[in-house]
Amino acid sequence: MKTGVPAAAGAAATGPELSGIGSEPPPEPPTARRTSVLSGPLGRHLGLVAALVVLCVIGFLTAGDRFGAGSNIRTILTLSVVIGVLSIGMTFVIIGGGIDLSIGSLVALSSVWATTVATQSLSGSWWPMVMVALLVGTICGVVNGLFIAYGPIVPFIMTLATMAAAKGLAEVISAKRTQVIRDDGFKNFFNGDLFGVPVQILVFLAVGVIGWVLLNRTTFGRRTYAVGGNPEAARLAGIDVRRHTVGLYALMGLCCGIAAVLIAARTNSGSSNLGLGYELDAIAAVVIGGTLLTGGRGTIVGTVIGVLIFTVLSNVFTLNNLDTSTQAVAKGVIIVVAVLLQQRLARSSISP
């Protein structure tokens, strides 16, 4: 005798492809098919690429050859690396129905802990610095996940508390001073080139590819969409929602550790002031990339394009000598417009 499966669990586990068994769906009219393509991931990505192209055209028109210079393109890509790595981790958290406001402080804490005199003196290699940064970030992410999943504490409150605590701990460890990196091998490797491409950009590409595979080709990724879309249905389908939530925040912490390594190499230091405001930039890039703040939908490709849009926009502002206050206002307006467009697309995808 077969064991019964709750209806909600069955629907969540089998997916929509089995929901139409026994009936032939009516053929879609060409207009409806075009509409569904444009409102799907491909249409959203094309829209983001079009927005990026428009920004580049504006950059050429307003800044001329300075924008199109090879050195400026390299600057744009290099500046997008740290926020890009953080945004990929944030994409997983937001698709899973959460949020993480502590990432800027976790970057600062990881960089400070990795650049203490004790850590730099562990051996003659710079690998302990990298491992300490990754370990500190991951442990802090696990702590966030445990309190959010098993507390339970609302993600916004928990990560806000972690943001304050991690910032304070970084200031205590560093005594509010900048810790200079003495290992030339560390600086030379992460600020150097490999096959003519900056190592930092290669790290960003590697994180992006691994993130795409993890989200689209593994059980972990499918469960992330399920947990963010409907946690109760995911639980009935047999997914351990709380353990998966801990995994998502641990992944976010690992990305913070990677970002700390990259920014420490770029600034040649570890400091409690590193990562200031990075949480807002990462969330903004993820939202611009089309990930729903309510969870259950988003793509790594969209996030990467969102990061590039955000970085190109900042670059155009800088080349046109706009002050940081004006840039902040413009970014805020863009985030609001992106969220409004998201809500409109979400309503249009739900309505028949």
Average pLDDT, the chain: 83
pLDDT of 347 > 80? The answer is: no
Nearest to 265 by CA among 168, 169, 182: 182
| Residue 154 DSSP label | -
What pLDDT is stored for residue 10 in this prediction?
41
What pLDDT is stored for residue 310 in this prediction?
85
Separation CA 331–CA 323 (nearest Å): 13
Q: Which residues in the chain belong to E strands, given as ranges? A: 179-180, 193-194, 197-198, 269-270
pLDDT tens-digit map of 97-125: 999 999 999 999 999 999 887 777 776 77
Separation CA 163–CA 141 (nearest Å): 11
Separation CA 37–CA 3 (nearest Å): 39
pLDDT tens-digit map of 33-58: 555 555 566 767 787 888 888 888 88
Q: What is the mean pLDDT of residues 142-168?
A: 93
Handedness of CA 305, 265, 207, 69 (dihedral sign): positive
Domains of the chain are 80-347 (1.10.3470)
Please, how many CA atoms are within 13 Å of residue 130, restricted to the half-sphere of its CB?
12
pLDDT of 25 > 50? The answer is: no
pLDDT of 88 > 50? The answer is: yes
Separation CA 138–CA 113 (nearest Å): 13
Nearest to 67 by CA among 313, 306, 329: 313
pLDDT tens-digit map of 307-334: 998 889 888 888 888 777 887 787 778 7
Q: Which residues in 183-289 belong to E strands, given as ranges? A: 193-194, 197-198, 269-270
pLDDT of 96 > 80? The answer is: yes
Report residue 27's pLDDT band, with 50, 70 and 90 as the boundaries.
Answer: low
Report residue 65's pLDDT band, with 50, 70 and 90 as the boundaries.
Answer: confident
| Residue 137 DSSP label | H
What pTM, to 2 d.p., does this model score? Answer: 0.83
| Residue 16 DSSP label | G
What pLDDT is stored for residue 255 in this prediction?
95
pLDDT of 8 > 80? The answer is: no
pLDDT tens-digit map of 218-260: 999 999 999 998 999 999 989 999 999 999 999 999 999 999 9
Cα angle 292-93-157, degrees, rounded to a multiple of 5: 100
Please, how many CA atoms are within 13 Å of residue 117, restricted to the half-sphere of its CB?
3
Choose the most confident range, by mean pLDDT, from 130-139, 279-288, 314-323: 130-139
Separation CA 321–CA 343 (nearest Å): 33
pLDDT of 178 > 50? The answer is: yes
What is the percent of the chain where pLDDT is above 90? 42
What pLDDT is stored for residue 7 in this prediction?
42
What pLDDT is stored for residue 293 in this prediction?
84
What pLDDT is stored for residue 15 in this prediction?
41
pLDDT of 344 > 90? The answer is: no
Report residue 18's pLDDT band, with 50, 70 and 90 as the boundaries.
Answer: very low
Handedness of CA 122, 125, 128, 130 (dihedral sign): positive
**For the chain, counts of helices (H) and of strands (E):** 17, 4
Give bridge partners of residue 179 from the DSSP assignment.
270
Separation CA 220–CA 341 (nearest Å): 29
What pLDDT is stored for residue 303 in this prediction?
93
What pLDDT is stored for residue 24 in this prediction?
47
Report residue 82's pLDDT band, with 50, 70 and 90 as the boundaries.
Answer: very high
Q: Which residues in 23-102 belong to E strands, given as ranges? A: none
- How many angstroms separate the most distant Cα atoms in the chain? 74
Separation CA 92–CA 114 (nearest Å): 25
What pLDDT is stored for residue 343 in this prediction?
67
Report residue 3's pLDDT band, with 50, 70 and 90 as the boundaries.
Answer: very low
What pLDDT is stored for residue 182 in this prediction?
84
pLDDT of 274 > 80? The answer is: yes
Q: Are 311 and 83 in contact (CB under 8 A)?
A: yes
Separation CA 140–CA 197 (nearest Å): 32
